[in-house]
Structure 1
Amino acid sequence: MRFVKFVKAALAAALGMTVITASAHAADGGDISRSYGVWRNPKNSVHLEIKDCGPSTCGVVVWASPKAEADARKSGTDTLVGKQLLRDFEAQNNGSLKGRVWVPTLKVTLVGTADIVDAKTMRAKGCVIGNFLCKSQLWTRIDGPAVLASRAAP
């Protein structure tokens, strides 16, 4: 029973962090930069900025809800904002992105993939073991002048 709970929690966390990075790639046949921007998870509790991080693509938390921050603190992470949750994401031959996803609440790094559905939607998939025990989510692009300006306001 504990293993089942762990798997469910790991899938939810992996999916929550994975969805965000890889969607823009499939729609344009390989331009990973189309995934760049700010994306929110389905619960709107975490906003990630997908961007170039040297030779690969990464995702950095730019906003987190008080509950998401509290959950991270309970697991030993001082703050989510500024943390790189998506690492080493690269384009795959099938048009998706693949990389590593750090899940602070579980203190683990998992494999994640993402595919773009359209200009505003990304499908993310996280797996606990290989291509088994997987879950997917739809993330929404939220970057735009109004969103970025409101985030910069004191």
Structure 2
Amino acid sequence: MKALAIALLLGAATGIPAAQPVASPLGVWQNPKGTILVRTRNCGAMLCGNIVWASPTALSDARDAGVNALIGTELLSDYRATGAGRWTGQVYVPDQGRRFYSTIEVRNPNSLRISGCILGGLICKHQEWTRR
């Protein structure tokens, strides 16, 4: 405890800003259109996320693509930490029935950027998700 107090005083005295903790990606997140909610959690040493709510439109789109049980679907899988606030893994796109290489970046405590790429990263799209 004494060492922590000394370290904080030295940081304040030297004008060196204290390191800010990285916000957690764990929780419930909403996509930009507000059509799904995904709960992210630790899956062993990795990060994953399942759909916990879907709008009627999202449910209909998924059924049209052959996904009859959208709630519970693992949307985010096998994400490994690659740096402070960054993970790489696979994102599942239900209406295409495919998984894509993906990154997650914690933008701030209430915002994630999820990016997905095809063709070895030549074509990428991203979405900003908000914490619910």
State the Cα deviation string for residues 28-48 of structure 1 (Å, max 9, x = none).
Answer: 45x8xx110000000000100
Q: Aligned partners of 2:107 and 2:113: how far apart in 1?
A: 7
1:122 matches 2:130: no
State the Cα deviation string for residues 77-125 of structure 1 (Å, max 9, x = none): 1121111111101100364111011112111110110111111111111
Corresponding position of 1:77: 67
Within 1, Cα distance between the matches of 2:107 and 2:124? 19
Q: Separation in 2 of the partners of 1:141 and 1:101?
A: 18
8 Å Cα contact 2:46/2:81 also seen in 1? no
- Which residue does the alignment assign to 1:47? 37
Where relative contact order (Cα < 8 A, 6+ residues apart) is larger, the structure is 1
Q: Which has the higher helix share?
A: 1
Runs in 1 of length 4+ with deviation above 3 angstroms? Answer: none
1:126 and 1:138 mapped to 2: Cα distance?
12
In structure 2, stretches of 5+ residues that fail to align are 1-19
Match of 1:91 in 2: 81
How many residues align structurally? 113
TM-score by length of 1: 0.68
Q: Distance in 1 between matches of 2:108 and 2:85?
A: 13
Q: In structure 1, what residue type is equivalent to 2:44?
A: G
1:65 is matched with 55
Amino acid at match of 1:107: G
TM-score w.r.t. structure 2 length? 0.79
Cα pair distance change 1:125/1:38, threshold 3 Å: same
Report Cα offsets for 1:55-74 as digits up to 9, x if no partner: 31111000000010011011
Measure, in 1, the Cα distance between the counterparts of 2:93 and 2:52: 16
Q: Which residue of 2 aligns with 1:133?
A: 123
RMSD: 1.6
Identity, in percent, stands at 37
- Residue 19 of structure 1 is matched in structure 2 by none
Residue 148 of structure 1 corresponds to which residue in structure 2?
none
